[in-house]
Amino acid sequence: MDYNFVEIEKKWQTYWAENKTFKVKEDPSKPKYYVLDMFPYPSGAGLHVGHPLGYIASDIYSRYKRLKGFNVLHPMGYDAFGLPAEQYAIQTGQHPDVTTEQNIARYREQMDRIGFSYDWSREVRTCDPKYYKWTQWAFLEMFNHWYNNDTRRAEPIAELTVRFGKEGNLKVNAANNAQKEFSAAEWNNFSEVEKSEALMWYRIAYQGETAVNWCPQLGTVLANDEVKEGFSVRGGYPVEQKKMKQWQLRVSAYAQRLLTDMETLEWTDSLKDMQRNWIGRSQGAEMIFKVSNGKREYDMTIFTTRADTIFGVTFMVLAPESEWVDILTTPEQRSAVDEYLLAVKKKTERERIAETRKVTGVFSGSYAINPLTLEKVPVWISEYVLAGYGTGAIMAVPAHDSRDYVFAKTFNLPIIPLIEGCDISQESFDAKDGIMCNSGFLNGMSVKEAIPAAIDYVEAKGIGKRKINYRLRDAIFSRQRYWGEPFPIYYKDGIPTPMSESELPLQLPDVDKFLPTESGEPPLARAENWTYRGYPIEKSTMPGFAGSSAYYLRYMDPHNDSALVSHEADEYWRNVDLYIGGTEHATGHLIYSRFWNKFLYDCGYVCELEPFKKLINQGMIQGRSNFVYRIKNTNTFVSYGLKDRYDTTEIHVNVNIVNNDRLDMEAFKAWMPDYHNAEFILEDGEYVCGYAIEKMSKSMFNVVNPDQICEKYGADTLRMYEMFLGPLEQSKPWDTKGIDGVHRFLRKLWRLYFDRDEFCVCSDNATPDELKALHKLIFKVQNDIESFSFNTTVSAFMIAVNELSDLKCNKRSILEPLVIILSPFAPHIAEELWHLLGHNESISFAEFPKFIDAYVVEDTFEYPVSFNGKLRFKLNLSKSMSAKEVEAAVLADENTTRFLQGATVKKVIVVPSKIINIVC
């Protein structure tokens, strides 16, 4: 009987669906395990072979954990709000709802074909009102909370209102963007509008005016992680900085907790590093400088991490957008400053980035007083100082900061070295290393001593204090687009007012067109009656990350109408044990989700501080494009090896008509009418194509569709081959050559169970060789799966099946466990064989075979022995000893005992086939 994967796979996929095999519910008798994939955005192009890589890995792990007795939650859904559907809608007039629905159906069909063990009864879609009710709910909760820096948690805004009534905002230690201070009396005299404004400075979801990334082509603002090198990540349009009033989330309030709690996570170092970088903690001090524009004196605060260098301050620099610019510009300098500001403003974000390190600046005309030396130093304005970080003003120490150095050289400002023996003739000395000089009371100290000493000094003198700054900014939360969650906010006499929870979801209204209005308002302005009790409703919608921030919680209790997740479900499933997805979300989704979770934790809705315990980033699968070489002005194509003899054009050729870089010439002629009469110059009778590794995309004809692979080889082959391709985390090109090897393996495995056409498994006792092959496999598979080394697991299966094949093994005691071990990787063939072996229940309910250590030790005569890592001699041991016997023999050996000289043996480690380590 042949291995008929088409029939087998269809049969078991239907069986799993009909029997709801992978449906789970809370079960206190079993330990839980939550395996999550980053849910996909359902694009019109469907899945290509790169998409399922992570899903296959998570599915293998889920199935493995089930065999190990865990109650596994393994759900899937769709991140369905987003720009492509909206842009398609603008072009075609087709409602995004319709295209989204179609795309989801296609995704589902493709995923089903690969045989994933998802619990589809828990599916979520972010664009479903039943789902986004809870996105809106979370927003309202954030609107109704503020962040208390003393208790380090979010607290209800109602309590803040009470405190304002009693003591104003002076004593409140909160994360805020307050514009002014007020007393209790002032608060009590505030109008409703003034109160609303003041509270807005404290809300965790707040409306505030800041410089935002504005993308004119998309007609919307974007968050920092949606912009790369001055262009929008989606679409690649230029982005400019603009001051606008937008909804924001006070993510910055959580900066320290996001940093601290990261220590507990099992994420890769590089990913943690990216987040650390993004959060950008830096420890230093704020210092007050007296500044004067000739008429009046002011206190100006700056931030520095190098308080020790204060004796070397020779000028100050303001960001062009700083409010100090206007105050400190003197009448004589006014026109020069205005000209400079105009020039800076005209630059696009892109030019600014391109011209990084080009030095520009202008003198304000004012001076500052160095609080320690009492010297007068000029105040300059330059774009190298950023308005959004620290206070938007710096003290410049050209001797020990490379940017200040270049600026000083350009504008001929003095440079004072502060570290003994440093050479600053060519460049600044930035290292925090050396002995201080020219620095008054700091002289003779090392830099590391001088930094805290300087801060202590300024704190004592009342001219500064310790301060920690973060680069993490609040997240811009509104988008001027249609296809997103509407804000449950209306404007009552101009005051942003939340709707009540019972009125959610606020459904997305229908509009005639999906474009902004002529007057530049967002598309929702087109909706008829977009009002609430006669008041206008907010017209922006929420960004993509809103819906994806808490979806992992919703899976725990997806049909609950009265809560995002019930306490019971949350207490049982807690958080995600294993999360698999791409690195591209490192500074977006993975920060927002952590923030969102911590906020819900503060409010008591969830029981875990972190959403994703362990995270694995699967690599990207790139395309492998093939080329043919057309001799210019002819219809003749020359094979790769001969192309240099002619003047040729390189043309992408559909990879699906190329096999092992050999072109199927007939298929090529049929591919496009132009090539119908193509002629070929061959090498050894074959046409060899060139290749390149590129992004998988339609235009390069290098897209490989998983359906094609399933059709030709079956889902089990696809699953195993994707794992076999290389380490999960590594990016690699898809290359179909090699898939035959994996397919051959499955056929070979199938044949183990058959004698000619008869299913043939006997119940004789297994031989030691057969047992050894099996147990080596169990050992290897367990180790490898636990360390996510799936590519070597596939190799281990191949070795085991080759060995059993050579032994002509047909023993049930070997072949039955083999099926169980294989089932996470190739579930369809495993399920079929499992039933042929006489089982009625799905293999998912089987137990992973126990490993007997006696069969792991390899036969070998000479074991190298290492003693605390140092090799001293070799030891002769007999064949087929168990680990324990080897250990006993080591301890009994004369050479060993002589060498140990009475030291106590703590541990004897026998590594199969390799070496014995003796730890004393």
Partner RNA sequence: GCUCAGGUGGUGGAAUAGGUAGACACGCAGGACUUAAAAUCCUGUGGGCAGCAAUGUCCGUACGGGUUCGAUUCCCGUCCCGAGCACCA
- Region 737-756 residues binding RNA, contact defined as CB under 7 A: 737-738, 740-742, 744-745, 747-748
Residue 444 CA to residue 917 CA, distance in Å, equals 52
* DSSP line for 130-145: HHHHHHHHHHHHHHTE
Which range touches RNA (CB under 7 A), out of 20-28, 239-247, 277-285, 437-445? 277-285
Pairing of strands 376-381, 315-318: parallel
Q: How far is the CB of 916 from RNA (least distance, A)?
A: 9
Nearer to RNA, 195 or 352 (CB): 352
Residue 411 CA to residue 359 CA, distance in Å, equals 9
Using omega within 30 degrees of 0 as the cis cutoff, is the peptide bond preceding 486 cis? no
Which one among 127, 723, 773, 798 touches RNA, defined by CB under 7 A?
798
**595-634 residues near RNA, rule: CB under 7 A:** none
Instruction: Give Cα 46 distance to the centre of its chain.
Output: 22
**398-417 residues near RNA, rule: CB under 7 A:** 401, 403
Nearer to RNA, 379 or 794 (CB): 794
Residue 783 interacts with RNA (CB under 7 A): yes or no: yes
Residue 119 CA to residue 21 CA, distance in Å, equals 8
Nearer to RNA, 762 or 909 (CB): 909
Binding mask 14-33 for RNA (x = CB under 7 A): --------------------
Q: Cα 449–451–456 angle (5° rounding)?
A: 100
Residue 165 CA to residue 787 CA, distance in Å, equals 57
Which one among 40, 168, 284, 714 touches RNA, defined by CB under 7 A?
284
The burial of 297, by beta-carbon neighbours within 10 Å (0-12 exposed, 13-18 middle, 19 or more buried), is given as exposed
Nearer to RNA, 403 or 589 (CB): 403
* Helices and strands counted in the chain (H then E): 29, 37
Residue 802 CA to residue 782 CA, distance in Å, equals 19
**467-506 residues near RNA, rule: CB under 7 A:** 469, 471
**286-305 residues near RNA, rule: CB under 7 A:** 303-305
Residue 583 CA to residue 590 CA, distance in Å, equals 9
Residue 547 CA to residue 169 CA, distance in Å, equals 34
Binding mask 115-154 for RNA (x = CB under 7 A): ----------------------------------------
Which one among 229, 338, 512, 679 touches RNA, defined by CB under 7 A?
229
Q: How far is the CB of 824 from RNA (least distance, A)?
A: 18
Q: Is 279 helix (H, G, I), strand (E, B) or coil?
A: helix
Question: Shortest CA distance to 830 belongs to which of 815, 814, 811?
Answer: 815
Q: How far is the CB of 51 from RNA (least distance, A)?
A: 18
Residue 583 interacts with RNA (CB under 7 A): yes or no: yes
User: What backbone torsions phi and psi does residue 560 show, to the nearest 5 degrees?
Assistant: -70, 125
Nearer to RNA, 648 or 917 (CB): 917
Which range touches RNA (CB under 7 A), out of 356-364, 445-453, 519-527, 846-854? 356-364
**710-729 residues near RNA, rule: CB under 7 A:** 724-727
What's the start-to-end Cα distance of the chain, in Å? Answer: 57
Residue 424 interacts with RNA (CB under 7 A): yes or no: no
* CB atoms near residue 647 (< 10 Å): 11
Contacts of 220 (CB under 8 A, 6+ apart): 214, 479, 480, 481, 522
Nearer to RNA, 41 or 78 (CB): 41
Q: How far is the CB of 54 from RNA (least distance, A)?
A: 16
Question: Which residue type occupies 423?
Answer: D
Which one among 802, 876, 878, 880 touches RNA, defined by CB under 7 A?
802
Contact, 777 vs 793, CB < 8 A?
A: no
Nearer to RNA, 228 or 376 (CB): 228
- For the chain, the maximum distance between any two Cα atoms, rounded to a whole number of angstroms, is 104
Contact, 72 vs 554, CB < 8 A?
A: no
Side-chain-side CA neighbours of 694 within 13 Å: the count stands at 17
Question: Shortest CA distance to 388 belongs to which of 208, 588, 228?
Answer: 208
Structure-block tokens of residue 723: 């794992």
Binding mask 845-884 for RNA (x = CB under 7 A): ---------------x---x-x--xxx-------------
Q: How far is the CB of 424 from RNA (least distance, A)?
A: 16
Q: How far is the CB of 527 from RNA (least distance, A)?
A: 35
Which one among 150, 194, 209, 355 touches RNA, defined by CB under 7 A?
355
Which one among 79, 119, 141, 225 touches RNA, defined by CB under 7 A?
225
Nearer to RNA, 494 or 738 (CB): 738
Count, residues near RNA per rule CB under 7 A: 84
**652-691 residues near RNA, rule: CB under 7 A:** 660
Which range touches RNA (CB under 7 A), out of 249-257, 698-706, 730-738, 838-846? 730-738
Residue 212 CA to residue 245 CA, distance in Å, equals 9
Which one among 105, 193, 353, 760 touches RNA, defined by CB under 7 A?
353
Residue 434 interacts with RNA (CB under 7 A): yes or no: no
Q: How far is the CB of 145 from RNA (least distance, A)?
A: 26
Q: How far is the CB of 782 from RNA (least distance, A)?
A: 11
Which range touches RNA (CB under 7 A), out of 78-86, 271-279, 554-562, 643-651? 271-279
Contacts of 620 (CB under 8 A, 6+ apart): 50, 582, 731
Which range touches RNA (CB under 7 A), out of 293-301, 477-485, 562-570, 580-588? 580-588
* CB atoms near residue 179 (< 10 Å): 11
Nearer to RNA, 307 or 445 (CB): 307
Contacts of 65 (CB under 8 A, 6+ apart): 33, 35, 72
Place of tokens 């809103």: 546
* DSSP line for 699-718: GGT----HHHHHHHT-HHHH
Binding mask 891-920 for RNA (x = CB under 7 A): ------------------x-xxxxx-x---
Binding mask 365-394 for RNA (x = CB under 7 A): ------------------xxxx-xxx-x-x
Which range touches RNA (CB under 7 A), out of 51-59, 76-84, 122-130, 221-229? 221-229
Nearer to RNA, 345 or 632 (CB): 345
Question: Shortest CA distance to 770 belongs to which of 804, 747, 797?
Answer: 804
